[in-house]
Amino acid sequence: MSRQTLEGWAVKISDIADHTYVYSPSNDKYFDCWGGHSGPDKRKICSGNGVYAVANCYRMPMFGCNDTAGIGVYAVNGVCHQSANCFLYSTDPKVTLNLQVRGYWASVLAYGVWGTGFLLPWLPGVYNPCWQKYGGETSMNTLSEKLHSMHKKFLETGESIDPNEVIIREAALTAEHHVPTITSNKFEELHRDFLKEKDRVIASGITGEALANKINDLSIELQKRLADILSAEEYEQLMGMKAGDTINIVNPSIAALTEKNK
């Protein structure tokens, strides 16, 4: 099993959350995560000792876009942040993007760390077959240990898994890990109400750019309400922006492209 460094990178996109992608420097290959690997303010966010063959196994281009990581439908199951984290899931220890990515926590609030379908169907249906074919033993860093322990408890209940409850816990653990002074129960009910409304919008049947715009509207309203209940310092640490600033989390042009090519 050959291991190579896998790096998470970010570039700035005007009023949309930073676009992220994954780079493999040993062979100069990219995982574009729906939107390419170029843009202004390019910077490396994280890196891990990965298995390129595993990540390469589940590139899964679809809807006219490259390297989705098989997370599902753009804007419904996740965006580039979730795809990047899924490619980085093949690192050892497992690494994720962090709050240096502008708008990252806002997308985690909407879709979780690895997308809404992480536990089912992504982990058993997409990742595990590739890991069994190309991978080996793995370990966890501090945050991934916390997330893995939480996921294990969900799976051990033997009951149907509510994706929104997984997202709520992932977002809370991410916030508490990066901002230890935060108290997640400050925003838990607000977060739960946002997810219910997001589900309602998706269930309404709108797609493409219209869906992206609606989810962005909901996210911006959530961000404004978070700014009211968090301290200015907490908001800036979590969002990577000054208190009161907001950002879109879904790229309407990518959503339109996926609608056109589905």
C-beta of residue 140 within 8 angstroms of C-beta of residue 160: no
CA distance linking residue 2 with residue 24, whole number of Å: 13
Taking CB atoms within 8 Å and a gap of at least 24, the contacts of 235-242 are 237/99, 237/178, 237/179, 238/99, 238/105, 238/175, 238/178, 238/179, 238/182, 239/99, 239/102, 239/103, 239/105, 239/106, 240/99, 240/100, 240/101, 240/102, 240/103, 240/104, 240/105, 241/102, 241/103
Q: Model confidence over 151-204: pLDDT tens digits? A: 888 888 766 789 999 999 999 999 999 999 998 888 999 999 999 999 999 999
Question: Could you give the CA distance from residue 151 to residue 237 in angstroms, rounded to a whole number?
Answer: 25
* pLDDT tens track for 26-37: 999 999 999 999
Edge-to-edge, what's the strand order for the sheet holding 29-31? 29-31, 16-24, 4-13, 43-50
* 67 pLDDT above the threshold of 90: yes
HSE (side-chain half, CA atoms, 13 Å) at 245: 17
Residue 224 region by backbone torsions, left for phi larger than 0, else alpha for psi between -120 and 50, else beta: alpha
Task: Map tokens 């390419």 to a residue.
Answer: 36
* Per-residue model confidence as pLDDT tens digits over 98-156: 999 999 999 999 999 999 999 989 999 999 999 989 876 555 557 888 898 888 888 88
